[in-house]
């Protein structure tokens, strides 16, 4: 049913995490193939209906594995790159022109054992994982993705991460990243996370600091060149389904989805991002049969800048599982931007162009 599919796709999203690596032996190939139709409305330069790749989960292929190098220690690694099912390429034309043809998702190596796991390379941010794994019923995909309004970049280059599962359902992790192109603070980052899984309740807190380059001198507020994203995420499994909630505090010029250091080329495409906000999410996932699950979420972004560019997102969706690895999905989301805010409805692979979007598609994991 949907619960098994959700676990499979969550595993694929977290395929490069230390926790997943610890469970592997030898070399494993995995992936997700996802394609759908994306219809948008409310675009500044006109909307289109198009075929999209990686709408609910980014289409990707990866390998990961481990080798025992002692009684309790293993060497682990992971490589993961995106696939474009709509064109058959590893990157679209804009990404090729910008020199972004690479292992865009993850590339890391490390050690795991009783001490936990430490990995080095390009990896998912701890704050992003807390949001999508714990608080977002849409798991960071389709039009309902919580990343439309909450958080900053998904991944960080040159990062070192440590993660350990502790006793009694507790877990903890930390990360640090260095800038390798120059000696400025841009790109330098650190983060931490703690979590608890006890019975039907899962709670995780995460914080991230990252240096940023000022791309526009006309920002509404401070000279703060550091983005700070703090998140408290939770879900509670009940008899009728699962309830989700999150509270986020974001500060700094690169703390908004409109300013994404993962893709700095998009800075000039959107309106001025918020530099200080408080965000609240409520959501639910309700199975109505062994195959069908209904999804819904509401997010309020409370912009604390003088411009007060608030935004609200309401999203609804459904998943129909036809096997343990395959499902069909549909989702609709509407963002109400206030006082000139420019947030758009994206999905797992694209930032979107309008304030409304509808998706329908198919996803298969292997």
Of 117-131, 205-219, 227-241, 318-332, the range with the lowest mean pLDDT is: 205-219
pLDDT score, position 136: 98
pLDDT score, position 182: 53
**pLDDT 10s digits, 165-211:** 999 999 999 999 987 555 455 668 899 999 999 999 999 999 999 87
- Mean pLDDT, residues 305-321: 95
Confidence of residue 23 (pLDDT cuts 50, 70, 90): very low
pLDDT score, position 300: 97
Of 41-55, 70-84, 91-105, the range with the lowest mean pLDDT is: 91-105
- Mean pLDDT, residues 84-93: 73
Q: Residue for token digits 């989805």?
A: 257
**pLDDT 10s digits, 29-48:** 999 999 999 999 999 888 98
* 119 close to 308: Cβ distance less than 8 angstroms: no
Instruction: Report the number of secondary-structure helices (H) and strands (E) in the chain.
Output: 4, 17
CA distance 272 to 305: 11
**pLDDT 10s digits, 248-283:** 999 887 677 865 444 433 433 445 678 889 999 999
Question: How far is the CA of 219 from the CAs of 44, 102, 304, in angstroms?
Answer: 21, 32, 14
Walk me through the domains of the chain, giving residue ranges and CATH numbers.
2-365 (2.40.160.10)
């Amino acid at each position: 049913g949907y619960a098994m599919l959700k676990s499979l796709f969550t595993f694929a999203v977290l395929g490069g995490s230390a926790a997943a690596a610890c469970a592997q032996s030898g070399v494993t190939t995995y992936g997700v193939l996802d394609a759908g139709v994306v219809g948008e409305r409310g675009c500044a330069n006109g909307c289109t209906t198009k075929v999209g790749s990686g709408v609910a989960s980014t289409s990707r292929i990866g390998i990961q594995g481990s080798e025992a190098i002692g009684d309790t220690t293993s060497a682990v690694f992971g490589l993961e790159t995106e696939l474009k099912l709509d064109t058959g390429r590893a990157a679209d034309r804009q990404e090729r022109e910008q020199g972004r043809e690479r292992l865009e998702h993850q590339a890391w190596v490390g050690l795991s054992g009783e001490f936990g796991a430490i990995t080095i390379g390009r990896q998912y941010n701890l704050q992003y994982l807390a949001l999508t794994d714990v608080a977002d019923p849409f798991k960071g995909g389709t039009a309902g993705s919580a990343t439309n309004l909450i958080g900053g970049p998904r991944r960080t280059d040159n990062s070192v991460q440590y993660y350990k599962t502790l006793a009694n359902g507790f877990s903890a992790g930390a990360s640090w990243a260095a800038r390798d192109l120059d000696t400025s603070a841009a790109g330098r980052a650190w983060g931490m996370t703690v979590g608890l899984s006890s019975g039907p309740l899962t709670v995780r807190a995460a914080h991230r600091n990252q240096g940023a380059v000022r791309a526009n001198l006309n920002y509404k507020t401070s000279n703060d060149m550091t983005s700070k994203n703090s998140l408290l995420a939770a879900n509670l499994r009940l008899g009728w389904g699962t309830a989700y909630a999150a509270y986020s505090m974001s500060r700094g010029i690169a703390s908004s989805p409109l300013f994404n250091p993962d893709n700095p080329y998009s800075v000039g495409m959107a309106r001025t991002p918020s530099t200080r906000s408080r965000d609240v999410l409520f959501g639910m996932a309700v199975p109505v049969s062994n195959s069908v699950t209904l999804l819904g979420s509401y997010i309020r972004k409370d912009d604390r800048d003088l411009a007060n560019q608030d935004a609200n997102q309401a999203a609804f969706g459904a998943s129909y599982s036809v096997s343990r690895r395959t499902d069909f999905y549909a989702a609709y989301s509407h963002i109400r931007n206030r006082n000139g805010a420019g947030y758009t409805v994206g999905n797992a692979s694209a930032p979107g162009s309008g304030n409304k979007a509808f998706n329908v598609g198919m996803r298969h994991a292997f």
